[in-house]
Amino acid sequence: MVACSECRIRNKPCSLEKNPKKPKCMACVRRRTPCVLTDSPTTRSTHKVQKRTGNGQGRGGNTLTQAPPINSVGDLCPRNPCGINKVIIAIDAGTAYMKSAFKVVESREKINPKVGVDGNILPGIRIIVWPNQLQFIETQIGYEWWEDQVTGELVYRQLWGKEVTIALDEGRINSDFVFRWLKPAIYTEGTRRAAQQRIEHQIDKLPQAIQFSASDELRPGDTRRLTFLDIFSDFMGHAWRYILRKIKGQYPELPWPDPSDVEAYRHFDPCEYTAVETVLPMPADSKPHHVELAIRAAVRAKIPRPQPVAEPAAAYAFDIQRRTDAHGPLDKSGCTIAVDVGGGSVDCQAYSSAQLSPLVVREEVEGADEWCGGNRVNETCRAIVRERCQPMMPRILDALRAHGRSMDENQFLNEIEALFENKKRWWSPGETLSLNIPGLPEIPVIGLRRNTLDLSAEDVTNAFDSSITPITCMIDKMIEKFHTRHPLSRDGSGARISEILLVGGGSSSPFLKAKLRNRYCRPKNEATPYPITVRETDKDGMGAATCISQGAVLLRMDSCFVTERVIRRGYCVKIDEESLPGDRKNPLVKVLRDPHDGYYSRIDVTSFLIRIGERIGHHHQAFGPEGCWRGLFLDEKTETGWVLEEQIFYSDDISEDGLWIDHPRHSSIHPCGMLKVYLTEDDCRFFETRTSPVREREYKYLEYQVQFEIRGIVMTYEIIIPRGGKFVKDGDGGYGINPIRKTAELDASGVFGLFNVDRPRTEI
């Protein structure tokens, strides 16, 4: 067999094996690379599947077959001499801080361990230590003047993470050139539009050389204006390249560039050499278009095929695995509300371990989130200080200027906010919180001592309450929804919520924990007639802030961890329905006479195959409406035959049948693909020929069935047509022998509550 040299190097099957006369193989055409024919076969064509036992045995001692590693674009990866099968990387780009964890899966390890069943998994997951020598780094991007070492010209360059903090401390840049709180700009509904507008207004104030640069590269003369998505993806790109270098440093056997060669990683694709899988934890209530935007930012950052998971789901997986590693498989079932308290959002989801052997995890209540995290507390504190200091602001700024610290009101409040952020998490109720600001004058009437600003216990309580009140409301609603589905009996027996699990950086606040325990741990509390335990996930040397990224790695390792999910997006087809009296005067429907059978029908109305809020398993089938048929006019036949088109639609707000799709009121229903079935005259030779009462045209009559099948996040959409054109009583589902089938696939990332992260397929 033959192949081109490029495919041989990449260990990819080459289309020239089947047709060596073609000038180029399809892979080289796609990559735009030279295509040179060689007699050497590809690795895949000669690869033998290896079997292993021992550590590779699953439950029941079944021998697992070790499949060859696949990279992010679906190509076969070369086996590394070091015996590394793949690398799983989770990138938790939070509002305030970035966290990351990774797992290098070696050939001696079990390929697909089961979370909550197999032990000793977490020790193999490593946490990235950032340039600030911490397990998290500030999510921030800055710009400064820099002398180009080649041309000697002064240009702008990007700074990220700790570099920004150092540049601010040294006075090389000011806060106008620093972008923070980037994540909320992805979520633009309601009050969160302000986050995107704030970044856009800040971009407007930048020099033209930055505004019209190509983001990270800062190429002059580019006419495309910088956007918030460019800035967010630039930060993720810096973090991604640093992560790869750290992994290479810990695993020198990986065939990647030297970790000290920063430039070598700028355009480096690890998937060319190793199977790499990436995971993005996201807020629980992320809408599909939020997921799409976050994935777009990650792809711009050259992160290969990022897959989303829900942050509370990742935390729950981490907590279950931590307990499994410490004490063995779970011995007690129950429902847990996982609450992720981050810098921007606070996310809730309710899960139950309904069965222990084997472990069955269900999503009990669909996820919810509020953008009331640590940033809300900081903003409230800022507002309190501004109101108190406003009458004395000129005097305060003059005193700071005399101390060599020239700043305006906004910069002063920024410093207050940054100091408060560092101290608030250790504050306990009843204490005064003091912020050290060199140069402050002594003004006791507004709480200023020399070099110190004192915030009273009441001030700090008010700041925290601005965040805690929405959190308790969200938990209360989740408890209410749980008991709507599982009502308690009169004597109080029945399914209960056993615990509230706190995760995320904000969960370490003593004040938050005290508030929640006071509300939910008491018998007959405000929310339930029974006590609910409130606890943090045990740290064991691993901070609560990093359990999301570790849990995301676990969800990628075991994509079937959550066995029952709540779908967030409805999918439908359009059909014609029988017309009712008065329909012609009804503006919400459209009535036309069918050109085939002559009957008047409501046309183009919805028929949902999958509805918003529906609970589905990892594998789910949904069938379309019965009685679907089409007519193929004989005088419309082309040289190749006929084309049957079936369009599929989605909606994030509507799941009601019988709605006219094209009505302006239903603008939230969008097309997402067209499935075409090409029928030749030979295909239709057994179809019944009928005559239309309209103009007496002849047509072929055929019945068909549409079907949805869901596996993980992959939706398969199929049309099935009996060979005889009509369904039969016996046979394969009534289709008869060898029916005509046409299939397409949709990547449904984000529509199931962001749980499973199977490999996506091509769209229709």
C-alpha–C-alpha distance, residues 594 and 158, integer Å: 63
- What integer pLDDT is reported at residue 24 of this predicted model? 67
Chain-wide mean pLDDT for the chain? 80
Candidate from 80-94, 535-549, 605-619, 724-738 with smallest mean pLDDT: 535-549
Average pLDDT of 521-535? Answer: 86
Q: Which helix (H) or strand (E) holds 399?
A: helix 393-402
- What integer pLDDT is reported at residue 224 of this predicted model? 63
Residue 133 has pLDDT above 60, yes or no: yes
C-alpha–C-alpha distance, residues 657 and 610, integer Å: 11
Higher pLDDT, 262 or 29: 262
Q: Is 331 helix (H, G, I), strand (E, B) or coil?
A: coil
- Write down the domain spans for the chain: 570-747
Residue 28 binned pLDDT confidence (cut-offs 50, 70, 90): low
Dihedral sign for Cα 408, 414, 420, 422, please.
Answer: negative
C-alpha–C-alpha distance, residues 174 and 167, integer Å: 8
- What integer pLDDT is reported at residue 355 of this predicted model? 60
DSSP letters spanning 455-524: E-HHHHHHHHHHHHHHHHHHHHHHHHHHHHHS---TTS-S--EEEEEEESGGGG-HHHHHHHHHHHSSTT
- What integer pLDDT is reported at residue 119 of this predicted model? 83
Question: According to the per-residue pLDDT averaged within each range, which of 186-195, 275-284, 366-375, 484-493 is highest?
Answer: 275-284
Torsion of CA 678, 680, 686, 687, to 10 degrees: 50
Average pLDDT of 274-282? Answer: 91
Residue 734 has pLDDT above 70, yes or no: yes
- What integer pLDDT is reported at residue 234 of this predicted model? 92
Candidate from 46-60, 500-514, 611-625, 722-736 with smallest mean pLDDT: 46-60
Which residue has tokens 């080649």? 150
- What integer pLDDT is reported at residue 489 of this predicted model? 87
Residue 43 binned pLDDT confidence (cut-offs 50, 70, 90): very low
Average pLDDT of 57-79? Answer: 39
Torsion of CA 655, 659, 662, 663, to 10 degrees: -110
Average pLDDT of 89-108? Answer: 91
Sequence-separated (6 or more) residues with CB below 8 Å from residue 215:
226, 230, 231, 233, 234
Q: Per residue in 630-639, pLDDT tens?
A: 999 999 999 8
Sequence-separated (6 or more) residues with CB below 8 Å from residue 419:
435, 436, 437
Q: Which of 556, 482, 479, 567 is nearest to 525 (CA)?
A: 479
Q: Is the pTM of this model over 0.75?
A: no
C-alpha–C-alpha distance, residues 650 and 27, integer Å: 33
Instruction: Name the token pair of 120.
Output: 């000793």
Residue 609 has pLDDT above 60, yes or no: yes
Residue 689 binned pLDDT confidence (cut-offs 50, 70, 90): very high
User: Pairing relation of β-strands 126-127 and 452-455?
Assistant: unpaired
Q: Is 230 helix (H, G, I), strand (E, B) or coil?
A: helix
Candidate from 39-43, 274-278, 507-511 with smallest mean pLDDT: 39-43
- What integer pLDDT is reported at residue 460 of this predicted model? 92
Residue 448 has pLDDT above 50, yes or no: yes
Instruction: Name the token pair of 530.
Output: 């029974």
Residue 464 has pLDDT above 50, yes or no: yes
Residue 62 binned pLDDT confidence (cut-offs 50, 70, 90): very low
Omega prior to 358 cis, within 30 of 0: yes
Candidate from 27-31, 245-249, 674-678 with smallest mean pLDDT: 27-31
Residues in the chain: 764
Residue 388 has pLDDT above 70, yes or no: yes
Sequence-separated (6 or more) residues with CB below 8 Å from residue 527:
475, 476, 479, 519, 520
